[in-house]
Amino acid sequence: MQKIKEYLKEVKVELKKVVFPSKDEIIGSTWVVIFTVVLVSIFLGIVDIGLSRLVKLVLI
């Protein structure tokens, strides 16, 4: 039981050291993620269409 109490005290001390992002930083990071996902999905869609056409040309 003593080890658990000591562990929880250490967790509390470590949590005080953590710097959580502000609301504006979270919103900014979210937009970066959304933009990156959209760009990657467009790129992969174009590659998929290109490879599909290439396979059709080879097989037909």
pLDDT, position 21: 96
Residue whose token pair is 């040309």:
57
- Whether the CA torsion 17, 28, 31, 50 is positive or negative: it is negative
Dihedral of CA atoms 22, 28, 29, 32 in degrees, nearest 10, equals 180
pLDDT in tens, 10-56: 999 999 999 999 999 999 999 999 999 999 999 999 999 999 999 99
State the chain's mean pLDDT as an integer.
96
What gap in Å lies between CA 58 and CA 51, rounded to an integer? 10
Asked if residues 29 and 21 have their Cβ atoms less than 8 Å apart, the reply is yes
pLDDT recorded at residue 28: 98
- Confidence grade of residue 60 (pLDDT, cut at 50, 70, 90): confident
In the prediction, which pLDDT does 16 show? 94
